[in-house]
Structure 1
Amino acid sequence: MPAPIDDLDSRLLALLTERPQIGVLGASRELGVARGTVQARLDRLVRRGVISSFAPTVDPHSLGYPVTAFCTLAIRQQEGHEPLLEHLRGIPEVLEVHTITGDGDLMVRVVARDNPDLQRVIDSVVSTGMVTRTSTVIALAELLPRRTGPLVQATGAGRATPAPADRRPG
């Protein structure tokens, strides 16, 4: 299990989430630590996979894709995920793909310009013949966008729920 983040890591991550353009020097000034300390912490967080990049967050709605949908796909198991995953990588409107439990095998988040365009995207998703069944739901409104700030704060403060293997009987 990776080492938990400490208070400085937590404050650094919160600062970068709130003000991603701040840079290493600005973060060091804001946090009251040396520039080298901030850089070393960032390097360590990247190596551990806590953060993966410093790319901007792009809003599909602002690019002209206001429709978000979640497609549950059942696939032919003998072919595995990789051929379909490679196909899905080629569809720009496919934003995420997750393996899941339940009635389907994959959950795919897609965006579209409107409902007829969503039909085009779904047709493209299932065009390979590897999908045996699909179910799609359209998101009406995003009530809570993807967030990690509270999780980072709870982990940095040691309040995050321990993993099941770490739980000890009282």
Structure 2
Amino acid sequence: MAVDVLDARILRLLLEQPRTSVREYARILGVARGTLQARLDRLERDGVITGYGPRLSPAALGHPVLAFVHIEVTQGHLDDVGERLAAVPEIIEAFSVTGGGDLLTRVAARDNTHLEDVIQLIIRMPGVVRTRTEVVLRERVRSRMLPLVGSVAANAAASTGQDAMSAWRDAH
């Protein structure tokens, strides 16, 4: 799905002002409300926008220990293990990966003892061969999308002959 400069400007507003109304977004962007709604519908349908809602802090929810747990899985059991991982509330993300393991999970825990309990739960799952854990010391780059949106806007502008720097500023 190609994202053009207007799409990038819409995405920027959604990221910067997530609680603003569609009517206000249209006013800010200088487009008709119907145009904006059609763009939002297409961005959702094409999977660019995957959801709306607040970002929550695991630490503020009483789970300040963050770790990445690499999981090696017996061949043929990746889907089964993935389903079991989804039932563990402390696992806040899981990805199939290449490299030193088959799955990479992000785990939030109350403390180190709780983290060990979660890891032991994972190890006991059928199909899990071994795990390797890396505890996060400090977040260095917060989860973000705005720089990527700016880059996409600049590329879209360049492909249509628009000024890439203006598009970057508009979307960044």
TM-score range, shorter chain: 0.7 to 0.9
CA contact (8 A) 2:4 2:156 kept: no
TM-score by length of 1: 0.88
AA matched with 2:94: V
Which of 141, 152, 162 aligns to 1:144? It is 141
The question of whether the paired residues in 1 share the 8 Å contact of 2:71 and 2:132 is answered with: yes
- TM, length-normalised to structure 2: 0.87
* Contact 1:75 1:105 (8 Å CA) reproduced: yes
CA RMSD of aligned residues (A): 1.4
- Identity, in percent, stands at 44
Contact 1:67/1:114 (8 A) holds in 2: yes
SS in 1 for 2:92: strand
Runs (4 or more) in structure 1 with deviation over 2 Å come to none
Tell me the equivalent position of 1:21: 19
Classify the secondary structure of the residue corresponding to 2:13: helix
Match of 1:101 among 98, 102, 105: 98
Q: Which residue of 2 aligns with 1:163?
A: none
- Give 1:129 deviation, angstroms: 3.0
Aligned residues: 157
CA deviations on 1:1-38 (whole Å, 9 max, x unpaired) are x2x21111111101110110012111111111111111
Q: Tell me, in whole angstroms, the C-alpha distance in 2 between the residues paired with 1:141 and 1:19.
A: 27
Q: In the TM superposition, what are the counterparts of 1:93-132 in structure 2 within 5 Å?
A: 93-132=90-129
1:71 & 1:63 partners in 2: Cα distance?
A: 20
| Residue 66 of structure 2: aligned partner | 68
3-state DSSP class of the match of 2:59? Answer: helix
Unaligned runs of 5+ in 1: 161-170
TM-superposition CA deviations, 1:71-107 (whole Å, max 9, x none): 11111113x2111111111100101111111121111
